[in-house]
A = this chain, B = another copy of it.
Amino acid sequence: MIEKILTFIVGHPLPTGELAHKRLDKIRALAAFSPDALSSVAYASQEIYLGLVVAGSAGLRFAFPIAASVVLLLVIVAFSYFQTIQGYPSGGGSYKVAYENLGRLPGQVAGAALMIAYLLTAAVSLTAGVEALVSAFPGLWQYRVLLALVLLLLILLINLRGVQESGTIMAVPVYLFIFVFGGLIFLGLGRETLGVVSEPAPIVPAVAPITIFLLLHTFSTGCTALTGVEAISNGVPSFHPPEAKNAGITLVAMALIMGFLFAGSVGLIQSFQVIAGEQETILSALARKLVGNGAIYYLIQISTLLVLAVAANTSFVGFPRLAYILAQDKFLPHQLTILGDRLVYTNGMLLLAGCTAVLIVVFRGETHALIPLFASGALLTYTLSQLGMVIHWTRDGGKGWLLKGAINGLGALVTGAALLVVGASNFLHGAWLVFLLIPGFVIVFRMIHDHYQVVASQLTLRGLPPSLKPYPGLRLVLPISGVHRGVVDAVNLARTMSNRIVALYIEMEPGTAEKVKIKWEEWFPDIPLVIEPSPYRSLVGPLLAFLDRYDEECNDTTLAGVVLPEFVPAQNWQRFLHNQQAELLKQALLYRRRQHGFQRVIIDVPYHLKR
């Protein structure tokens, strides 16, 4: 029943053979890898506005200069990743680059930072998307958290189905966004040039002075515009050959579009002196100013929401794949390596969705509150990955290694500096969490890794004698709840296996043992029945105590086993009408460790009722 509902939602299982490697042309690849980067324009411009508006109209005059420095940073980072594409044509995720070149600990740190960045990409994209929506429909303001969670659930379900054609479908919102937003900026630039007179802008009062700290803080949160730039370098094998070249061209195109959209929108916001209300995003206010309140405005907001939703979707591609790689390297539970029914890493997706939901709820759906965490995580992975590339080129020593190394070195330097700025200026606003989470993740990685190694060393057959002999014999204990049809099969089986059998009745209700004993001796006179009292009316305790005592009394090398007669109701609902004692007992027996000798064997003899 539950299975049917799940199948309806998620779809029928797919055979492993259908797992195909699909290649993308540049148009589709741009759509597949850029939504995260492009959509970051939405929240990065918002952050710059929010960072400066406290300093009033005077503060807002720094918007464009700050955006320009972010774009400069973007150019450097894009160059760096262009290098990564050439150096790792098989796809160089930050984790891989850091692990291979810098070593285990930096690799683990990069892996942890990348996991956090993926989580926050999903969370921030969803909350920013909802904010774009509620800017257009202010009545929905109070339902922001709920809306973000519904959107998350929707994206999760789509990904659990594992839609193979997602590439084409996802392309629509991306190009729609580029088209309408690009159009908006051209429109704005046109008006600017023509000197169209708009109403005089209101003077915004300052509540804080313009300080270096304020500017640095604003710059560092504006750096979230950079997030997503690395996506293409992870996916080089998805391009048509020559993969590296095509990927490089796509990266350049993406960086150009991104830089234009970001610098353009922040520039226009400053130049038109756009001000947003508390429940509106600055991009929404800009759009309203330029195109009014008509259909085009709603199209802009909807396309912003959609591209952000697609950006959240990229986490559902990247995070499970990263979790798979970390689990392959035995840093995460190996359940994350299992391909689900629909050929996707179901467990990774559920983990991502669960953590993202927690982030959205804890941060009350506020993008602004999530940003410091996001910026720190993303910049940390960038820095480590670029540092790794420097080592890579140095080791490589091929043609032009010095220039290549220098470019990545510059990338590492500027992202590292930006990371320091973020960490220092946002420490109390949430960046501290990253400095707590990353060591935590690394410790968990190591614990898991150690555990798997310890298990492997205990499971190895090396050193065992090549010829193994059967056991000397089997000694059986047969717990019974009464003398009825359900125990007959178990008795017969026990007789087949061994001639050392003891039946055991735990007397939970005083006075019941007498009748059981008489009936037992009538039916199975050859098997001795032991009666154990249970003053506390529990089954498991006295049974385990008896087994331990009996083993000690026998004091032999014989293997000990417990034969459990278990009757199984015909219908599922009928299970509620019977004690689940057998289940409890099996668990207790399985986990009961014996100090010496072999573990006890548990033999479950089901007796199926017919009605």
Residues of A within 8 A of B (CB): 13-17, 333-335, 338-341, 448, 451-452, 454-455, 458-461, 464, 466, 468-471, 473-474, 483-486, 488-489, 491-493, 495-497, 509-510, 523, 535-538, 559, 566-569, 574, 576-579, 586, 590-591, 593-594, 598-611
In the complex, which of the residues B461, B466, B470, B509 contacts A485, with contact meaning CB atoms closer than 8 Å?
A: B461
**Chain B residue with the shortest CB-CB distance to A330:** B577
Q: Check if B485 sits within 8 Å of A458, measured CB to CB.
A: yes
Shortest A508–chain B CB gap in Å is 8
Residue numbers in B under 8 Å from A601 (CB-CB): 493, 603-606
Q: Check if B600 sits within 8 Å of A603, measured CB to CB.
A: no
Residue numbers in B under 8 Å from A333 (CB-CB): 576-577
Residue numbers in B under 8 Å from A460 (CB-CB): 484-485
Q: Check if B574 sits within 8 Å of A536, measured CB to CB.
A: no
What is the count of identical protomers in the complex?
2
Residue numbers in B under 8 Å from A602 (CB-CB): 603-604, 606
In the complex, which of the residues B341, B470, B536, B605 contacts A599, with contact meaning CB atoms closer than 8 Å?
A: B605
Q: Check if B590 sits within 8 Å of A599, measured CB to CB.
A: no
**Chain B residue with the shortest CB-CB distance to A494:** B470
Shortest A611–chain B CB gap in Å is 5
Q: Check if A484 sits within 8 Å of B468, measured CB to CB.
A: no
Q: Check if B474 sits within 8 Å of A461, measured CB to CB.
A: no
Interface pairs (13), CB distance under 8 Å: A16-B509, A17-B535, A338-B579, A341-B536, A448-B577, A459-B485, A459-B567, A464-B488, A466-B523, A468-B491, A493-B559, A586-B604, A593-B608
Residue among A17, A577, A591 with the highest chain B CB neighbour number at 10 A: A577
Q: Check if A461 sits within 8 Å of B606, measured CB to CB.
A: no
Residue numbers in B under 8 Å from A341 (CB-CB): 536-538
**Chain B residue with the shortest CB-CB distance to A611:** B454
Alpha-carbon distance A473/B493, docked complex (angstroms): 9
Alpha-carbon distance A461/B523, docked complex (angstroms): 9
Alpha-carbon distance A448/B571, docked complex (angstroms): 12
Shortest A162–chain B CB gap in Å is 13
Question: Given A451-B574, A593-B608, 12 other A-B contacts at CB below 8 A?
Answer: A13-B536, A15-B535, A339-B537, A341-B537, A341-B538, A451-B577, A468-B491, A469-B492, A474-B496, A496-B559, A599-B605, A602-B603
Residue numbers in B under 8 Å from A452 (CB-CB): 577
Q: Check if A599 sits within 8 Å of B606, measured CB to CB.
A: yes
**Chain B residue with the shortest CB-CB distance to A484:** B459
Q: Check if A15 sits within 8 Å of B599, measured CB to CB.
A: no
